[in-house]
Amino acid sequence: MVSYSNFSEKLALIKSGRLTLSENVDFFLQKIRDNSDLNAYNFVFEDAAKKRALEVEAKIKSGNFGKLAGLVVAIKDVLSLKDNPLTCSSKILKDFEAVYTATAVQKLLDEDAIIIGKTNCDEFAMGSSNENSAFGPALNPVDKDYVPGGSSGGSAVAVAAGLCDVSLGTDTGGSIRQPASYCGIVGMKPTYGLVSRFGLTAFASSFDTIGPFANNVEDAELLLSVIAGFDENDSTSVEHQYTPDEKNLDEIVIGLPKEYFGEGTDEEVNKSLQEAISTLKNNGVKFKEISLPHTEYTIATYYILTTAEASSNLSRYDGARYGYRSENVADLAEMYENSRSEGFGDEVKRRIMLGTYVLSAGYYDAYYLKAQKVRRLIREDFDKAFEEVDFILTPTTPGTAFKLGENIDDPLKMYMLDIFTTSANLAGIPGISLPVKNVTGKMPVGLQLFGNRLSDAGLFAAAKQIFSLL
C-alpha cells in the first residue's frame, strides 16, 4: 500500500496511477477485518464500497470528478443512508433501514466520496464512553483496555486505527471532541446550523451538530467545507457560505479562561496543556486570561435541556409504527410500555425519565425554564469574551481516557466528563480538538479551541498552524 499523509497526496497518487481506488478500498476492508476486535463498525458496506470505487475511478480517469473523489468515509450510525441500516446502536431500531439519505451524507456522495460503513456509537448518541451501545463497546486503539470516548466512539476509532480516511460523527455536548481527544486525532464541532441536521436521528435538536474526524486539520476542513451549507429541509439551517480563511497566529489573541485550568483537571492534562501553551508563546502567539463566569452551571444546564428534548424526540419509538415491538402483550398500553422498556438501554431510559421530570407541570418553571435563562447567560459569556480575544483555548477533557467499566455505574461522574465541551453546544459556537503531542502519560491529551459563531473557517486557519507546532 502506497503511503500518504492527507487526501491531497492520496488524490495525486490516484491520478498518477500509483494507487487504484479498488486497492485502497480493499486495504481498508482488510484492515477492518484485522481489527474487528476494536468494534468500530456496526455495519461494513463491502460490496457497495468496491462497486463505488470502480465508478469513482472511472470518473477520475475521465477528468470529471468531485472534490472528495476516492475519499473513504465512515459515518456514525445515527445518520441516514437510504436502504441501509439505521440503528443508532439501539435494540429498538434493530433491522430498521433508512428510507432517505441525510443531507450531509448526500453531499459526500455528490462529491464522489466512498462510504465504507456505519460506525458504533452510544445508543441514540447518549454517552461519553461508547459503552452504551447495543453492539457492545468500541475499544480505544491506543490501548484496548480503555474507552475511546463517546458518543461518536466508533467514528473516532475508525480514523485513529486507520480503518478509513475520515469519518463523520455528531456532537451534542462534546461527542466529537471528547473521543477525538481520547484517541489522539482531530475532531471538529461546527457552528450550530452550519451543517444540515436533516437525516440525523435527533437526540437534542437545539444542540445536535454533525462534524468531521480526521488525522490532520486539512482533511477535517475539506470534509466540513463539503457538508456545510443551507438546507431548506432543516429549519435551523444557517444561510452562510463556508469560505476558507487565512489567519496568521501572530495576528490573533487567544483567551485562556481561568475556570478551565483550575481544580478538577488532571495533573497530566494540565502539564501537557501548559507545555503546549509555552510552545505557542515561543512561536509568537499572544494569550490573555479571560473569565467565563457561568461555566460552573454548564453541566446542570446542559443535562436539564438535553434530557427534556430527548424525552420528546424519543417518544416516537413506541413499537407501533417501526422498530422493535414487544411480543405477547395484552393490550396497546402494554405494547408501548414493554417495547420501550425492552428496546431502550439503561442510559436512554434514564435520560427520558429525567427529561420527562423537568418538563412536568410542577417542575417546568423551576428547572427547564431556568435552564433556558442560564443558557442565555452562558452564551453572553462567550459574546463578551470574543470582544477581547479571537479564540479561546482550553483542555478538551479534564482527564485522559479511562478503563472500560471504570465509570459505567456512576452516571454523575460520567456526565462531569463533559464539563469542558458542553458550553460550546449551549452557546452554538464551533470547537475543535487537536492532539497534543508532548503528552506526559500513556493516553492522548486534547487541546480545544473555541471560535465565535460562524468563525469556523478562521478556527480551522488557526488550528492548522497550531497543529503543526504541537
Q: Is residue 67 part of a domain?
A: yes
Amino acid at 42: N
Q: Is residue 294 part of a domain?
A: no
Q: What is the side-by-side order of every strand in the sheet holding 391-395? A: 41-44, 114-119, 72-76, 166-171, 209-214, 186-189, 431-436, 445-450, 391-395, 253-257, 286-290
Whether the CB-CB separation of 429 and 191 falls below 8 Å is answered with yes
Identify the pLDDT of residue 362.
Answer: 87
Identify the pLDDT of residue 467.
Answer: 95
Concatenated DSSP letters for 388-444?
A: T-SEEEEESSSS---BTTSSTT-HHHHHHTTTTTHHHHHHT--EEEEEESS-SSSS-
Q: Which three cell numbers stand for residue 379?
A: 452564551
Burial of residue 88 (CB within 10 Å: 0-12, 13-18, 19+) is buried
Range of the domain at 100: 7-227
Q: Is residue 197 part of a domain?
A: yes
What is the distance between the alpha carbons of residues 426 and 431, in angstroms, rounded to a whole number? 12
Q: Is residue 420 part of a domain?
A: no
Residue 76 annotated among the catalytic residues of the structure: yes
Whether the CB-CB separation of 464 and 218 falls below 8 Å is answered with yes
The total domain count for the chain is 1
Amino acid at 364: Y
433-447 pLDDT tens trace: 999 986 667 899 999
Instruction: Give CA separation, 442 vs 142, 143, 184, 284, in Å.
Output: 9, 9, 11, 29
> Choosing from 151, 181, 225, 311, which is the catalytic residue?
151
Q: Is residue 266 part of a domain?
A: no
Grid cell 463497546 — which residue? Answer: 137
Per-10-residue mean pLDDT of the chain, 470 residues long, equals: 82 89 96 98 98 95 94 98 98 96 98 98 97 98 97 98 98 98 98 98 97 98 98 96 89 95 87 94 96 96 97 94 90 94 96 96 93 98 98 97 94 91 98 86 93 98 94
Vertex 390: Cα angle to 216 and 379 (nearest 5): 100
Identify the pLDDT of residue 317.
Answer: 95
Count other C-beta atoms under 10 Å from residue 445's C-beta: 31
What is the distance between the alpha carbons of residues 333 and 232, in angstroms, rounded to a whole number? 37
Whether the CB-CB separation of 166 and 172 falls below 8 Å is answered with no
Tell me which residue of 188, 140, 158, 187 sits closest to 402, measured CA to CA.
140
Q: Is residue 319 part of a domain?
A: no
Q: Is residue 211 part of a domain?
A: yes
Identify the pLDDT of residue 328.
Answer: 85
Whether the CB-CB separation of 120 and 32 falls below 8 Å is answered with no
CATH number assigned to the domain comprising residue 68: 3.90.1300.10
Residue 175 annotated among the catalytic residues of the structure: yes
Q: Is residue 138 part of a domain?
A: yes
Identify the pLDDT of residue 100.
Answer: 98
> Choosing from 76, 118, 189, 464, which is the catalytic residue?
76
297-344 pLDDT tens trace: 999 999 999 999 999 999 999 999 889 999 989 999 999 999 999 999
> Choosing from 80, 133, 175, 181, which is the catalytic residue?
175
Residue 151 annotated among the catalytic residues of the structure: yes
What is the distance between the alpha carbons of residues 389 and 242, in angstroms, rounded to a whole number? 22
